[in-house]
Amino acid sequence: MLDVSNLRFSYRRGREVLKGVSFSIDRGEILCLLGSNGTGKTTLLRCLLGFEKPDGGRILVDGEDVTRMRFERRARYLAYVPQSTSIAFPYTAREVVLMGRVAHLATGASHTARDMQVVDEAMERLQIAHLAECRYQEMSGGERQMVLVARALAQDARLLVMDEPTANLDYHNQVKILTALKYLAGQGLGILMTSHYPDHAFLACTKAALMKSGALVDVGPPDDIVTSESLTNLYDTPVHVGGTFVGGLVVKTCIPLLDETVYARVQADAEGSQELDESLGRA
């Protein structure tokens, strides 16, 4: 569905921000892009969405070059969900979601009954139909974020591009957003999301990508990619990825270790367990 190959971008000569980035997303997949601030995640999204023009590489959606598409056609493929948005006028949630239909309007045309139907369906799919007449400015952070996801859904694009969709949300609303994303992926949408919470890769995503200094260090299934070693190297901070048995399943969590002594002990225990497993295997 989305195929990014050897993407390069510089804001000015000699300062390359994206260094040959390559990855792909198929229908029904959720890719979680992890990395520190300033590593190029937002710049990558801006290139995908057409806000910046890459210096090289390819961005293909269903085999078509996105960089050569007109705005209206690009909007049929890619929909953007920002961290937040400031809306000055007292729009209702339904009116904000209706903004997602702009890409389908002819110049000077008014919204049709079909547009209204799509908006209502998007809000129902995300279980926020009861917020339709509420003012956007008066909603909680989680409700606003769900409205922005509904707006992207109403755009009727094939891929959702989401910049930290759970940022500044409490635990309950983070879970609501992640549950909604899994549902939408199950409906056949492809989703690319950035996050500062590595746990989210385990909770909701089919792929994880680690980005450092403008390059992708690794891409693949979260269980293979998101490890104690990889996160420690990615964030230059001691991190332990552990597992807990819940209902017969292993649920992985990422734990930052403030005390380096504790980190050293955890690593030693992990190495000892691995050596024991290898010994038992040989036996």
> Under DSSP, is residue 268 helix (H, G, I), strand (E, B) or coil?
helix
Among 5-19, 98-112, 170-184, 207-221, the range scoring the smallest mean pLDDT is 98-112
**Domain containing residue 142: CATH number:** 3.40.50.300
- Taking the C-alpha atoms of residue 185 and residue 272, their distance in angstroms, rounded to an integer, is 39
| pLDDT tens, residue by residue, 33-49 | 999 998 999 999 999 99
Average of per-residue pLDDT values in the chain: 87
pLDDT at 27 > cutoff 80: yes
Residues 49 and 11 in one domain: yes
CA atoms in the 13 A half-sphere facing the CB of 163? 17
Handedness of CA 67, 68, 70, 75 (dihedral sign): negative
- Taking the C-alpha atoms of residue 227 and residue 213, their distance in angstroms, rounded to an integer, is 19
> Under DSSP, is residue 57 helix (H, G, I), strand (E, B) or coil?
strand
219 vs 12, 75, 104, 184, 224, CA distance in Å?
28, 26, 34, 22, 9
Residues 176 and 62 in one domain: yes
- Taking the C-alpha atoms of residue 85 and residue 38, their distance in angstroms, rounded to an integer, is 21
| pLDDT tens, residue by residue, 92-108 | 999 999 999 888 877 77
Q: What is the pLDDT of residue 281?
A: 47
* For range 121-129, the mean pLDDT: 90
Residues 175 and 78 in one domain: yes
Under the banding of pLDDT at 50, 70 and 90, the label for residue 74 is confident
Among 81-95, 183-197, 237-251, 267-281, the range scoring the smallest mean pLDDT is 267-281
> Under DSSP, is residue 134 helix (H, G, I), strand (E, B) or coil?
coil
Q: What is the pLDDT of residue 8?
A: 95
Among 12-16, 95-99, 237-241, the range scoring the smallest mean pLDDT is 12-16
Handedness of CA 114, 115, 117, 122 (dihedral sign): positive
Residues 236 and 135 in one domain: no
Residues 244 and 214 in one domain: no
pTM: 0.84
Q: What is the pLDDT of residue 257?
A: 84
CA atoms in the 13 A half-sphere facing the CB of 77? 24
Q: What is the 3-state secondary structure (H, E, C) of 66-129?
A: HHHCCHHHHHHHEEEECCCCCCCCCCEHHHHHHHHHHHHCCCCCCCCHHHHHHHHHHHHHCCCH
Q: Please name the amino acid found at residue 181.
A: L
Residues 217 and 282 in one domain: no
Residues 141 and 78 in one domain: yes
Residues 27 and 152 in one domain: yes
pLDDT at 276 > cutoff 80: no
Residues 182 and 48 in one domain: yes
Q: What is the pLDDT of residue 215?
A: 95
Residues 264 and 196 in one domain: no
Cα-Cα-Cα-Cα torsion 17, 234, 81, 86, nearest 10 degrees, comes to: -80
Q: What is the domain count for the chain?
A: 2
Residues 6 or more apart in contact with residue 167 via CB below 8 angstroms: 83, 84, 196
Residues 68 and 92 in one domain: yes
Enclosing domain of residue 144:
2-226
- Higher-pLDDT residue of 248 and 20 is 20
Residues 43 and 58 in one domain: yes
| pLDDT tens, residue by residue, 168-209 | 888 888 888 899 899 989 989 999 999 999 999 999 999 999
Q: Which helix (H) or strand (E) holds 135?
A: none
